[in-house]
Amino acid sequence: MRASKSVYLYGPDTLAREKRFRTLVPKGRIYYLFETSWGEILEEVRYPSLFSGGMAGVRILSPAEERVSKKDRGLVEEVISFGVVISSEYPEKSELKNLVKNLPCSVEYYRALYERERASLVREELAKAGKEISRDALIYMVKTVGDDTLALWGEITKLKHHPSRRIELEHVEQLVPPLREYPVWELEVALANRDYPKAWEVLEDLRQRGQSPQMITGSLNYMVGRICRRDLSEELFALDWRVKMGYSAWDAIHLAVLRIMEICRP
C-alpha cells in the first residue's frame, strides 16, 4: 500500500478549485463519485499499472455523496492512503472533510469570490484578448452569472470571441443567459421528478435565453448518472453523431432527452 499524501479540495470557488484539481491529476485518472462507489475507486487505484506515475482524482458532484457511512469509512481511508485528489463543493462542515483531516491528507479551501473580485476577473481576462467592457455590461454580467466562477469563465470565453473590441451591455444581454434565474440544473430537477412537461419547458426556455447547446450536452450525462445511475455516454455519442449528420444541435438535444426519458422511466 502506498503512503502518498492525498489532497482534499473543497469550497465554492469552482474555477480555482478546478484549475488546482487539473494540475494535480493526470489526464484519464479522474473518477466521478455520483456514478462510482468508494469501493470501485479503491479497486481502480490499487493497481500500479493503472495508477503509477501520479495521483488519481475523485470529483464529487453530489453533496449527498459526502455523507460517509460507517461501512465506507475503511474504504475512504484506504483510498486516501493511495494519494488521491478529492474535489467537492460541499460546505465546510462535511463528514468527509472531518474524516480526511485525521488522515494523511492535506485540506485546501477555496472561498467564493466577492463580486468585485469576479468583476476584476472579467476585466483582466477580456483585456488579455484585447477587449474592454463597459461598466453597465460588467455589472450585468457579474450579477447575472452569480458566484459560480466556472460558469463565469465560460461566459468570459464567449465574450472573448465577440467581434467587437468593446463589449457593451447589449452584447452581454444577447450572449450571457441569466443562469441564476433559470439554471441548467432546473432540467435535472424536472428529470429527477419525472416531470417531463416541465423538462421540455425548461429546455425550450434555455434555448430562447441563448444557452449554449454544448453546455446542455455536457450536463446530460452527469444528470442521468445521478438520476438513473446509468452511464449514457453512448447516447451522447449518438447525439454528436446526429449533429454531424446534419441535425441542428438543439434537435439532437431534444432527441437525446427523449431517449433519456425513456431509459429513466420508473
* SS3 label, residue 59: strand
Pick the last residue of a domain from 66, 91, 109.
109
Query: Does some domain include residue 92?
Result: yes
Does residue 180 form part of some domain? no
Q: Identify the domain boundary among 109, 138, 158.
A: 109
Identify the DSSP state of 2.
Answer: -
pTM: 0.64
- Whose cell is 476577473? That residue is 121
208 has pLDDT over 50: yes
Residue 3 has pLDDT above 50, yes or no: no
pLDDT by residue (tens digit) across 132-166?
Answer: 999 999 999 998 888 888 778 878 888 888 889 99
Q: Are residues 79 and 138 in the same domain?
A: no
Residues 131 and 206 in one domain: no
pLDDT-derived band at 52 (thresholds 50, 70, 90) equals: low
Residue 1 inside a domain? The answer is no
- The mean pLDDT of 82-100, rounded to a whole number, is 81
Domain boundary among 109, 140, 158: 109
Q: Is residue 58 part of a domain?
A: yes
Domains held by the chain: number: 3
Domain that holds residue 150: 115-175
105 and 122 both lie in a single domain: no
Distances (CA, A) of 202 to 77, 116, 191, 239, 265: 41, 31, 10, 19, 19
Is residue 74 over pLDDT 80? yes
Q: Where residue 143 sits, what CATH number does that domain have?
A: 1.10.8
